[in-house]
Chains A and B, each alone.
Chain A
């Protein structure tokens, strides 16, 4: 091939041009999709965030009004706080899933079965899960309080109490996401070279020391990946809130930021204000992602 191509130079460039054209055609479809459905709406969102816009008349430029309004909007601040608060489920979930992965990494029977069982909530539709947990959290007849009752505990009316609604949502989210983190940890554990442990135990390192000094550093890229994707996912929590507490919960105590954006945009037609909030959300996620890329580079981690 190469010798023939070298001999006939004009033909090579014609072939190359042809290849360029075909390649462009092949990637044109996703590129056009990106421009139409991501880039254009993004730019328009940025523009709309500086306008007063009800979605019916044309947007009217109003400078930084929306952004100033945001800082004085107790609902926005509350929604931000709620969203942040619900992320305390992330470290809890990571610790639990790590423990599960360590258990499943042992040489024993039934690990495949358990892996499948713990993964079932991950693939289940979040809408259906939210519906069934809403019923499970029912104060008088729900599964959660009936189980607590066996142990003599009188459970609260979880979703109707401003102090328990967020913990209830956190428990449910942890339950649903556990299998995913567990699976990634398990894959990471299985790729830790055995000889590291053998060498460490020859040096007299105990189980805890081995975990602390070998396992933890070796699975750190997965931990980073999970932390970042969980924060990005967690900052967009919406479906559970929308289904389980349709009005944002008692005293607005479960309203999340995406829920508030959605409500402002599509119920109150404050499209400009909602756009500004969505830009703030996008910026937060962007910053987190950039930090992740930095850390990734330092850790030489790639997801292939």
Chain B
């Protein structure tokens, strides 16, 4: 049974990796990478690394990939005018999602059990999370602080690099 899961995840991971490299449109590549991230998270769950699976989805799929898509669309926007043809569709899909969200918020009977089960699974994975936290804040405390320094440097670097008029004094 475990092998079936492994081969499914492995096959999709390998196929999505090939697609990331092979596809011509960067947006499709990024979406293939998204599929790969989700399946890597599934692989982590089969390896009993539940905390890392959650972090993988939140950080990789949630933050990093959105940043990629943001930049892809930012750079392609000036070359072709796809945006203007797509915005009625975007409005339709977006308003549908908003209506769905409102309906779900109104149905409190549905939302509370979902939240409760989510909390329960987190508690169920506490063994893994607790072990990682123990090691991270004792043995690897110094690397942990260095990692925060890396993030700070990356943040400052990104702001300075993406700033306009680097050589000239900023007037605005």
Answer yes or no: do A and B interact.
Answer: no
